[in-house]
Amino acid sequence: MLKKIALEEHCMAPELVSYWEPSVAALPSSLKETITRRLHDYDSERLGIMDQSGVALSILSMAGPGVQIEKDAGVAIRTSQRANDFLAKQVERHPARFRAFAHLPMQDPVAAANELERCVRDLRFCGALINGQTHGVFLDDRRYDVFWERASALNAPVYLHPADPVATFTTLLDYPELTRATWGWTIETASHALRIVFGGVFDRYPQASLILGHMGETLPFMLWRLDSRYQLYRQERPLTHLPSHYIRNNLYITTSGQCSNDALLCSIGALGAGRVMFSIDYPFETTELAGRFMEEVPLDSDARARIASGNAEQLFKLS
């Protein structure tokens, strides 16, 4: 079976339950119970499901929204530290099967940078996963320069994960079925990533790496138009390169929640096989389905192996 490393694999710490539960209150009770059980499991069920689909290693991250919705920055700092310490202990028990992304208090950029450094240097985490904006502040804001500088110095990739927008998009107000994972999160996360690109973050920190799930939140399919329109309009924030340059050189994408041959092949055509990595989005997606998709998608053996595990091994220095 093809060796796989999965990057967007969620879990839960006791300290974060109160932040998470309101976000799933509307789910059917049976589904909520299954997801809750799997988020809190770090042993038999999770490992068994990984084994069945050839997932050799999962990089774990706390299910959102987490401390980023906490109003008190001091509480967010202390809670994120406890959650990261809890996660580190779970990884310690299965070091060959788990690694982790840091959960950060983005309310305080300096504290977030310090916690990222602690997690990478002391706990051997792979980087950080950030759940969208924090109280309306996006990662292109210049107050986050200290964070990007530290992430770049640590060679710590940042996984930008979807989260609710500050307010529901007007076009979606009468269609709740289009909000969140169906479409709303894609709009929010792709727009956030473009703010980072167009805001010059990668000009200031050219070694920084951003990861987007769900096959890049549609950005691989937009490169030509982004470049074309960037050149057409007057630039208040001139960039050193065209937008596509940063998407091809500073971004990685994963297959989480997108088991589509067409989407993967198009993404490889746009970005190259070296910029795409396997993911599942467990327990919100099915490991068996994602694993079978990776085994069967029409790719040559080299590209398949790179996407399934090789690119992650290289980016996170796992081998």
Active site residues per annotation = 281
List the one residue out of 50, 47, 45 whose CA is nearest residue 1: 50
Please check whether residue 318 is in contact with residue 312, taking contact to mean a CB–CB distance below 8 angstroms. yes
* Helix 29-40, helix 44-52: angle, nearest 10: 90
DSSP result, 27-95: S-HHHHHHHHHHHH--SHHHHHHHHHTTEEEEEEEEPSSGGGG-S-HHHHHHHHHHHHHHHHHHHHHST
Q: Which amino acid is residue 312, in one-letter code? A: A
Instruction: Give CA–CA dist 245/206, Å, rounded.
Output: 11
Please check whether residue 252 is in contact with residue 276, taking contact to mean a CB–CB distance below 8 angstroms. yes
Side-chain half-sphere of 224: how many Cα atoms within 13 Å?
3
